[in-house]
Structure 1
């Protein structure tokens, strides 16, 4: 029986992938069974190749790392995942936790730290690089990281009402549109942002300044 833990790496920089693969395969228990340059390529590899964990760069062509992982979890809900990134923006770590990603590590970490993160996640734990000392700068949001960047103006309007606690009926009355239209917009928001319960959606909307403190007048505890 094959006891090797199988790993797939997704990063659009070939040299980084090679270096990470060499480091990983120094462990006799791990084997890199696939490499991808984009989220779309990773999804295709996973259709054909079983793996225990995926290590995904946050910034990829097309879908970003979090979007890619969410897509893989639609078919493989138990697949372990780690985001690896050059960014030390604490909001990205928060997003990773909110979306249930098992780890978030910096590319600048030393080899042993990266291997420790992989080992921890494979063992069923989580591992997140320490960003406590990194300040949040609200006006400097990397576009690729903002989960709300692809929402239309109408979707943003409905999102704001949703996180403020408006029901579908109340939203339809407020915007003078049908409930079915509200349902469609909410479904589109979910497809673009990820299927999250309202409390987590609220926290992300606040982190990314979609809503302000004084706007959160009433928020559902659950949906």
Structure 2
């Protein structure tokens, strides 16, 4: 038999943490080596406790789940982290997975699902639930639509590379700040803005910003 998977449960809700600990302790392949009440408490314990997997609540005082994960990722890269949350938020799922979180679980999951997630992430390095896979697919489809819209806009309006660069940052600063970011003069910025207004039939900068957002030049 393989060594049990060493885990730490981190959650600021005592009842949830203790209940989950009781459930997981029944599985002989899982060894709960510690609990923590928040991110700071967890990080204080990690130098002496070396888990394979951490169940980490996303919403906590004293460092939230993502802030805590960033420290773990940097200092303990071999530890796998499963985020626990009450929130079904597709944008959050995609964001966390893109940042390297190893799995995302809702707190109302069945205990069998949590156990399966722990074993999967320990063995394979990642755990994708159905809703996480759906969120990622939705994100990819939206990105494809955005890219298609941007490509079509470029072909229709025949933008220069510099005009594209202006569209990507328009609205994120004044003309001087745009000039500084692109290492060009304010007069050159004005020249590009004039050309962009003519090519897009936008009467002013506000309309150009809307055009940039609608066609995927800014996220």
Q: Name the CA distance, whole Å, in 2 between partners of 1:18 and 1:214.
A: 49
Give the gaps of 5 or more residues in structure 2: 139-164, 171-175, 184-211
Match in the other structure for 1:67: 67
Give the gaps of 5 or more residues in structure 1: 137-160, 167-171, 180-210
State the TM-score, normalized to the length of structure 2. 0.61
Q: Does 1:174 align with 2:178?
A: yes
Q: Name the CA distance, whole Å, in 1 between partners of 2:9 and 2:179.
A: 45
Q: Name the CA distance, whole Å, in 2 between partners of 1:111 and 1:23.
A: 7
Moved over 4 A (4+): none
State the shift of 1:70 in Å.
1.2
What do residues 143-177 of structure 1 show as CA deviations (whole Å, max 9, x unaligned)?
Answer: xxxxxxxxxxxxxxxxxx9xx489xxxxx963759
What do residues 75-124 of structure 1 show as CA deviations (whole Å, max 9, x unaligned)?
Answer: 11121110011001111211121011111011111110111111110112
Q: Does 1:216 align with 2:217?
A: yes
Instruction: Give the helix-richer structure, 1 or 2.
Output: 2
Q: Name the CA distance, whole Å, in 2 between partners of 1:40 and 1:129.
A: 28
Alpha-carbon contact 2:169-2:178 (below 8 Å) kept: no
What do residues 29-48 of structure 1 show as CA deviations (whole Å, max 9, x unaligned)?
Answer: 21111111111111111122
Match in the other structure for 1:32: 32
Q: Does 1:109 align with 2:137?
A: no
Q: Name the CA distance, whole Å, in 2 between partners of 1:60 and 1:175.
A: 41
State the TM-score, normalized to the length of structure 1. 0.60
1:1-223 equivalences in 2 (<5 Å): 3-131=3-131, 132=134, 164=168, 174=178, 176=180, 212-214=213-215, 216=217
State the shift of 1:215 in Å.
6.0
Alpha-carbon contact 1:24-1:30 (below 8 Å) kept: yes
RMSD: 3.2
SS in structure 1 of the partner of residue 54 of structure 2: strand
